[in-house]
């Protein structure tokens, strides 16, 4: 009979597609043991190990070990997820043809990227829910107040955008195996020498050069927010610059298959 069955095929609204993609990306990230190691275990170990070493005299810092190291470890967590995990996951999705198939689905390519960014923000909330209680248990006492919290949130968003653009650039231009090796190598180099966990002052004369790195900029911005309650304008501008450069390169060089 007319009107009893009237199918209306078509794509779901973009917002619903992005939410579904972000939900799937989040589940995949949280189920991956290697990504959990990079996103949660390594930052937590860096925090606990750094605080213990600082209290026993192994590390010389301007303030208390936990107050100085916690912002840097939070920056490391952002870098772990937005750069290393995203680059490796996206690289292998390209290798297995998943990116190509998603590109042919009703989900537009910018919707796919928005879904990945949404998943990153969810995972970073999970990271904060783990690392902040650990830091508080170790005696962390941030002095930034509300201004510091808002400045830190702005720094995290800009840092995630900068590192995500660089991670997508690497994943979209290199083979999966090369992305795996390069992402881990860059992560280790920035962890040790990128002024992310330790302040730039710990690197002597090299500290002035390191301020142009996204790792140092994010670490500086979070330390300024939590220790001084101020907005670090120059480091935030550095992150904006890396975001613009990375996003422009991704739009031109990213290969979907």
Q: 21-53 b/e with 16+ CB inside 10 Å = b? A: bbeebbeebeeeeebbebbbebbbebbbebbee
Between CA 212 and CA 234 the distance in angstroms is 10
Alpha carbon distances (Å) from 192 to 100, 203, 216: 36, 10, 11
Q: What is the mean pLDDT of each run of 10 residues along the chain (257 residues)?
A: 61 73 76 74 86 71 80 92 88 78 68 79 88 90 86 94 92 89 92 87 84 93 91 94 92 79
What total number of domains does the chain contain?
Answer: 1
Does residue 150 sit within a domain?
A: yes
The pLDDT, as a whole number, for residue 104 is 64
Question: Residue 170 is part of which domain span?
Answer: 14-253
**189's tokens:** 């180099």
Does residue 6 sit within a domain?
A: no
Does residue 3 sit within a domain?
A: no
Q: Decide if 153 contacts 71 (C-beta within 8 A).
A: no
Segment 187-205, tens digit of pLDDT = 999 988 888 988 888 888 8
Q: Decide if 22 contacts 118 (C-beta within 8 A).
A: yes
Does residue 92 sit within a domain?
A: yes
The pLDDT, as a whole number, for residue 198 is 86
Segment 64-107, tens digit of pLDDT = 888 888 999 999 999 998 998 888 888 888 887 777 776 666 66
Does residue 18 sit within a domain?
A: yes
Alpha carbon distances (Å) from 215 to 212, 238, 243: 9, 10, 13
The pLDDT, as a whole number, for residue 78 is 93
pTM of the shown model: 0.86
Does residue 193 sit within a domain?
A: yes
Does residue 108 sit within a domain?
A: yes
Q: 134-145 b/e with 16+ CB inside 10 Å = b? A: bbeebebebebe
The pLDDT, as a whole number, for residue 9 is 63
């Amino acid at each position: 009979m007319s009107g009893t069955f009237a199918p209306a095929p078509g794509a779901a609204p973009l917002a619903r597609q992005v939410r579904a993609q972000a939900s799937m990306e989040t589940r995949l990230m949280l189920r991956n043991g290697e990504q959990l190691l990079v996103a949660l275990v390594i930052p937590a170990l860096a925090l606990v190990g750094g605080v213990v070493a600082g209290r026993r005299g192994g590390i010389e810092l301007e303030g208390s070990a936990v107050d100085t190291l916690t912002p840097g470890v939070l920056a490391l967590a952002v870098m772990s997820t937005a750069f290393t995990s995203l680059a490796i996951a996206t690289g292998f999705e390209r290798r297995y043809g998943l990116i190509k198939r998603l590109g042919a689905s009703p989900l537009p390519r910018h919707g796919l990227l928005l879904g990945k960014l949404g998943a990153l923000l969810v995972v970073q909330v999970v990271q904060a829910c783990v690392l902040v209680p650990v830091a508080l248990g170790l005696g962390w006492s941030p002095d930034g107040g509300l201004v510091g919290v808002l400045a830190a949130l702005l720094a995290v968003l800009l840092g995630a955008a900068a590192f995500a653009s660089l991670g997508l650039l690497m994943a979209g231009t290199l083979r999966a195996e090369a992305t795996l090796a390069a992402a881990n190598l860059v992560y280790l180099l920035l962890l040790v020498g990128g002024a992310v966990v330790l302040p730039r002052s710990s690197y002597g004369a090299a500290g002035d050069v390191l301020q142009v790195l996204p790792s140092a900029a994010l670490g500086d911005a979070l330390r300024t927010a939590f220790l001084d309650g101020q907005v670090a304008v120059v480091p935030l501008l550095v992150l904006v610059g890396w975001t613009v450069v990375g996003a422009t390169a991704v739009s031109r060089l990213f290969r979907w298959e």
